[in-house]
Amino acid sequence: MTRKKVLVTGGAGFIGGNFVQYMVDKYSEYDIYNLDLLTYAGELAKHKHIGDRDNYHFVQADIADRQTINQLFEEVRFDYVVHFAAESHVDRSITDPGIFVRTNVLGTQVLLDAAKAAGIAKFLHVSTDEVYGELDFDPETFFTEETPIQPNSPYSASKAASDLLVRAYHETYGLAVNITRCSNNYGPYHFPEKLIPLTISRAVNDQKIPVYGDGKNIRDWLHVWDHCAALDLVLHQGVSGQVYNVGGHNERTNLEVVKTIIQTLGKTDDLIEFVTDRLGHDKRYAIDPTKLEKLGWKPKYSFETGIAQTIQWYRENEDWWRPLLKRV
């Protein structure tokens, strides 16, 4: 039996890194290639326990480097591409939108061209619910796959552009694709500039925890391991050309998330520091995952279970996140 070859871009980051580990552990008969440029948020320490596995391979490369990417696709006949690689921090996109366009849009286009030329079996593009814009505070409203795309930040605009490119390569060239759009992820190996790991690290260090505006912006939280299971399902069973939303119906205000972490760590709310709101800060995100559930997916983690596990993981793995604080 021929071994399947899977290219995972951005596999040194948070979600991509967890997905690499998931795939290496679950599919011993697959060769998993982790391609990452190792920018500020990428690191390989998370993969030290799989580094010597026969089915794990690392390639350091820039997805926007057409010559390098084309050569890789010629040398390794990939069956699948799972595309995570992206600049993803909204604040950084506000101060430097150009790098987001280069990586998220042009880099995706380079990968699509290589995938088309190689005739791969599936290109799975991992996107975000932020491409839909924002919802009001009506708890009965949700993003569906039919919600119009109307991004509000340079980050989400760059992801929306890459989504449309992926769709166009399916419609124009017949490339087999899926697009997934997930809600906010949390869990192990999350780079400590994002809300949950930042709050944990600052609370552990008794430092002030910044909260934008009044803290009432709502996000729908998804454990990264539930996300990995969803991507596995879509990769193998998703209908080509379709979009699948991934969310766990775990809506919380940012302030509720911060207070949950503070209380779990035995700290006080005195650590909270309200700061000037982010430019264009979306009010609320909430996903309707019905379409994915019909494919057979259900999240295993409630927010209460998942956040407790995540906090414990960070308490037990300070040797991983403390060296990264200087990069934030």
| Per-domain boundaries in the chain | 4-190+222-249+281-302
Is 189 a residue of the active site? Answer: no
- The CA distance from 233 to 296, in Å, is 8
pLDDT, position 89:
85
Lookup: tokens for 287: 């996903």
Q: Which residues contact 31 (CB under 8 A, 6 or more apart)?
A: 3, 4, 5, 6, 55, 57
pLDDT in tens, 107-130: 999 999 999 999 999 999 999 999
Q: Which residues contact 42 (CB under 8 A, 6 or more apart)?
A: 10, 12, 13, 36
Section 23-27 average pLDDT = 98
Q: Could you say which of 31, 87, 130, 232 is catalytic?
A: 130
Section 184-195 average pLDDT = 96
- CB 151, CB 133: distance < 8 Å: yes
For domain 4-190+222-249+281-302, the question of CATH label 3.40.50.720 is answered with: yes
Let me know how many helices (H) and strands (E) the chain has, helices first. 12, 12
Section 264-291 average pLDDT = 96
- The CA distance from 159 to 128, in Å, is 7
Task: Please tell me the pTM assigned to this model.
Answer: 0.96
Beta strands in the chain (DSSP E): 4-9, 30-36, 56-60, 80-83, 122-128, 177-182, 184-186, 209-212, 218-223, 243-246, 251-253, 272-275
- The CA distance from 155 to 244, in Å, is 20
pLDDT at 2 over 70: yes
Which of the four pLDDT bands, split at 50, 70 and 90, describes residue 328? confident
Section 184-202 average pLDDT = 96
pLDDT in tens, 251-272: 999 999 999 999 999 999 999 9
User: What torsion do the CA atoms of 230, 232, 235, 236 make, to the nearest 10 degrees?
Assistant: -110
pLDDT in tens, 52-82: 999 999 999 999 999 999 999 999 999 999 9
pLDDT, position 155:
95
Which of the four pLDDT bands, split at 50, 70 and 90, describes residue 1? low
- Other Cβ atoms closer than 10 A to 97: 16
- The CA distance from 127 to 177, in Å, is 13
pLDDT at 276 over 90: yes
Section 181-186 average pLDDT = 97
Section 278-301 average pLDDT = 95
Is 155 a residue of the active site? Answer: yes
- The CA distance from 213 to 233, in Å, is 38
Lookup: tokens for 132: 């839909």
pLDDT in tens, 44-58: 999 999 999 999 999
Section 233-257 average pLDDT = 97
- CB 127, CB 179: distance < 8 Å: yes
Q: Write out the DSSP string of 131-148.
A: GG--B-S-TT--B-TTSP
Q: At 82, is the secondary structure helix, strand, or coil? A: strand
- Other Cβ atoms closer than 10 A to 316: 10
pLDDT at 91 over 90: no
- The CA distance from 96 to 156, in Å, is 13
Q: Could you say which of 155, 169, 244, 301 is catalytic?
A: 155
Q: Could you say which of 129, 134, 282, 288 is catalytic?
A: 129
Section 33-39 average pLDDT = 97
